[in-house]
Amino acid sequence: MAFEVPKISYSGRIKEINLGKGEKEVTIGGETSYPFHLFEGEMPHKPVIAFEVYDSKPEEWPAVIVQPFQDVIDNPVAWAKKCINEFDAELICLRMVSTDPNGLNKSADEIAPIVKEVADSIEVPLIVWGCENDEKDALVLPKVAEICQDKRLILGPATDKNYKKIGAAAIAYKHTVVASTPIDINLAKQLNILLGDLGVPDEQIIVDPNIGGCSLGYGLEYAYSVMERDRQAALTQQDTKLQFPMVANFATDVWKKKEVKTSQKDDPKLGNEVNRGILLEALTGVTLLLAGGDLLVMRHPESIKLVRKVIEDLIVKE
């Protein structure tokens, strides 16, 4: 039998989006085929990983994940710098957990200067992530957008409840918005349309189809499939409103599960807890890369190292 490699003819292309500014600017997107299908398409920009940094000392982190950041864990500026200087972070994702109304409930005015300080002390692109409370984020993110107006931040999550306030701030101060929806391709598409109608330029939108995150063993399959469907519609069904790069923000979800907290002593069959935590995060990342993730937000330096190696090995020229 004569064999011919069965190739798919793609009709769409993912938009290229520039993040940050200056020398450390990062571009994502631009794919003309399914993820890493380099035998039939292009992936001009490799997927990138943002290091997750909290704006305040995390309360419930297991020791495994505190350890690499022990010396900087109550100082977001030092923490971000450590990620860049020691672990070569290409982006930082600052999570404003302290603004959570069910936690410290810091106000927009309290947190914005802290974000500004982080933004001023780094050159890599900065993702500023809210506490995932629609009303509170609608107050905090616009304030952050204003005070960091020349920084070209990436602001998220913008949801169908608060996209107007966050979108307007992004337009006014030229930041990028992360459109976040709960694992539903139609909702994802609709929010992109709404942001467009509001006047957010395409070049300032990226998409997070799994609001609140997901992780191995906890609904990863939903995130995986909504991302695959998104990519399929974007590339083969000319769905222009889905042709945006995708974000996968899952570290927070991975690291709060009991499977990363259980010690080897308490459950020997689960093996070494340090390696287990690293792999639970890394494998979540690898799986979502294969589904079409362009920008991953991750936490443990060793997990990130493993996923970076996978990316390099998948795009290496042979």
Where do contacts with other proteins occur on this chain (CB under 8 A)? 1, 3, 5-6, 8, 36-39, 60, 102, 216-222, 224-225, 228-229, 232, 256-259, 261, 264, 268-273, 275-276, 278-280, 282-283, 286-287, 290-291, 302, 306-307, 309-310, 313-316, 318
Which residues are bridge partners to 154 per DSSP? Answer: 127, 176
Residues 289 and 47 sit within 8 Å (Cβ to Cβ): yes
* CB of 22 or CB of 316, closer to other proteins: 316
Integer CA distances (angstroms), 176 to 179, 244, 299, in order: 10, 12, 22
CB 58 to other proteins: min, Å: 13
- Nearer residue to other proteins within complex by CB, 149 or 232: 232
Identify which of residues 92 and 183 has a Cβ nearer to other proteins in the complex. Answer: 183
- Go through the chain and tell me how many residues it has: 318
Nearer to other proteins, 138 or 279 (CB): 279
Tokens of 77: 């500026």
Q: How far apart, in whole angstroms, are the C-alpha atoms of residue 99 and residue 293?
A: 27
In the complex, least distance from residue 42 CB atom to other proteins, rounded to whole angstroms: 14
Nearest distance from C-beta of residue 299 to other proteins, angstroms: 16
**Which residue, 89 or 288, has its beta carbon nearer to other proteins?**
288
Q: Which is nearer to other proteins, 17 or 283 (CB)?
A: 283
- CB within 8 Å of 81: residues ≥ 6 apart: 72, 121, 122
CB of 186 to other proteins, least distance (A): 14
Q: Coil, strand, or helix at residue 92?
A: strand
- Minimum CB separation from other proteins for residue 227, in Å? 10
Report the 10 Å Cβ neighbour count for 46: 14
- Nearest Cα to Cα of residue 230 among 34, 16, 30: 34
Q: Mapping DSSP to helix (H, G, I), strand (E, B) and coil, where does residue 207 land? A: strand
Q: Minimal distance in Å, beta carbon 57 to other proteins?
A: 18
Rounded Cα–Cα distance for residues 294 and 14 (Å): 10
